Amino acid sequence: AQSVAQPEDQVNVAEGNPLTVKCTYSVSGNPYLFWYVQYPNRGLQFLLKYITGDNLVKGSYGFEAEFNKSQTSFHLKKPSALVSDSALYFCAVRDAYQGGKLIFGQGTELSVKP
């Protein structure tokens, strides 16, 4: 069965510092990996995805993610955090068939302090 783990419930970063939100996955077959962000009282917003190709994926709002097949990881990164990046971040893997559901990790709350 496909699964995703986010080992940290919370990540605290100072504004201007780099941030990393960790995600590891377990899939049979090729992984289709996604990051979503959830701001308070809002829905999930798509940030970026890895399907194939370059291991470094760039997404919205200056975020990027590094796919590492040997470590089965897909960590979300940003070189310089903003206070407005504070939100709940979800990693997800998609079932590899048409219309496949997303399987989410438990989420990581990112807090960026001024």
Partner 1 sequence: EPEVTQTPSHQVTQMGQEVILRCVPISNHLYFYWYRQILGQKVEFLVSFYNNEISEKSEIFDDQFSVERPDGSNFTLKIRSTKLEDSAMYFCASSGTSDIYNEQFFGPGTRLTVL
Quote the tokens at residue 99: 């219309």
User: Rounded to whole angstroms, how far apart are CA atoms 19 and 47?
Assistant: 15
Pick one of 11, 13, 74, 107: the residue that binds partner 1 (CB under 8 A): 107
Residue with Cβ nearer partner 1 (11 or 81):
11
Q: Site map for partner 1, 73-102, x if CB under 8 A?
A: -----------------x---x-xxxxxxx
| Per CB under 8 A, 1 contacts partner 1 | no
Exposure of 18 in the CB half-sphere (CA atoms within 13 A): 7
Core vs surface per residue 10-22: b (16+ CB within 10 A) or e: ebebeeeeebebb
Q: Site map for partner 1, 20-59, x if CB under 8 A?
A: ------------x-x-x----xxxxxx--x-x--------
User: Rounded to whole angstroms, how far apart are CA atoms 89 and 62?
Assistant: 14
Residue with Cβ nearer partner 1 (25 or 36):
36
User: Taking the complex as a whole, how short is the minimal distance between the CB of residue 32 and partner 1, in angstroms?
Assistant: 7
